[in-house]
Structure 1
Amino acid sequence: MDLVFYNYLLKCFVLIDLKMGKLTHQDVGQMDMYVRMFDDLKRSDGDNPTVGLILCTERDEVVARYSVLHDSQQLFASKYVLHLPSEAELQAELARERRLIEAMMAARPAKDGKERM
């Protein structure tokens, strides 16, 4: 386990494991063990269940689908990139998100019941 946080808003421990390479079933089993240990040894009565997050450079969809990740409310795996996007890539992503938000806002009826133009 690489990082341990306590999120005071969620009232739970957040465990993060950083992996170079593809997600394996051993990674998932290891994180599952860490989460269970923290719940047993560190969690207080007012705390919510511990959350485990595995960050890897390649996510294996088969492992994600057929391991405890599939049905778990406490374990998650996600892919990360090893480089920052360029300014142009960030601008394109922001423009794409803005278009999506504007389209969603336009599709919602106004609060007074009248359609938006």
Structure 2
Amino acid sequence: MELGKGFAFVARRQHIVTDTSDFYIDLVFYNYYLKCFVLIDLKTDKLTHAAIGQMNMYVRMYNDLKRSEDDNPTIGIILCTEKDETIVKYSVLAENEQFFASRYRLYLPKEEDLKQLIETSRIYLELKQQY
């Protein structure tokens, strides 16, 4: 699916090296409208706290090693087959506007399914704001 306007492809499986370790970021984009890098981590299973910690580290590393002074903070996106709301609630995702986790689908859902998903998400956000 299309990411939207302003995205430029930077790298696939980008190799990041520290003094002691090697890491590979699945996809890296730069958004010219947002003026920031967007890191995408692809997970073929459900969301885990380890995946969130990994993306947190990638975003911090990218901000330190790649981001210029004119750039906004790096955004990290985790795409997974299943999002566990409890893990999201008690992780860095709940407090940070730079990290996102979302479920992906291998096919485009029917219009009715999309409407139901949007309504469910809207109700969840309303309940979350109440607490």
Shorter-chain TM-score range: 0.7 to 0.9
Structure 1 residue 84, shift from structure 2 partner? 2.6
Q: How does 1:18-97 map to 2 (within 5 A)?
A: 18-85=42-109, 89-90=110-111, 92=112
How does the TM-score come out when normalised to structure 1? 0.73
Identity score, percent: 65
How far apart, CA to CA, are the structure 2 residues paired with 1:19 and 1:64?
15
How far apart, CA to CA, are the structure 1 residues paired with 2:36 and 2:73?
6
How far apart, CA to CA, are the structure 1 residues paired with 2:108 and 2:96?
30
Residue 47 of structure 1 aligns with an amino acid whose one-letter code is D
Gaps of 5+ in 1: 97-117
Structure 1 residue 71, shift from structure 2 partner? 0.3
Task: Tell me how large the CA RMSD over aligned residues is.
Answer: 1.6
Gaps of 5+ in 2: 1-24, 116-131
Which structure ranks higher in relative contact order (CA pairs < 8 Å, sequence separation ≥ 6)?
Answer: 1
Q: Which of the two has greater strand per residue?
A: 2
How does the TM-score come out when normalised to structure 2? 0.65
Distance 1:27 1:93, change over 3 A: closer
Greater C-alpha radius of gyration: 1
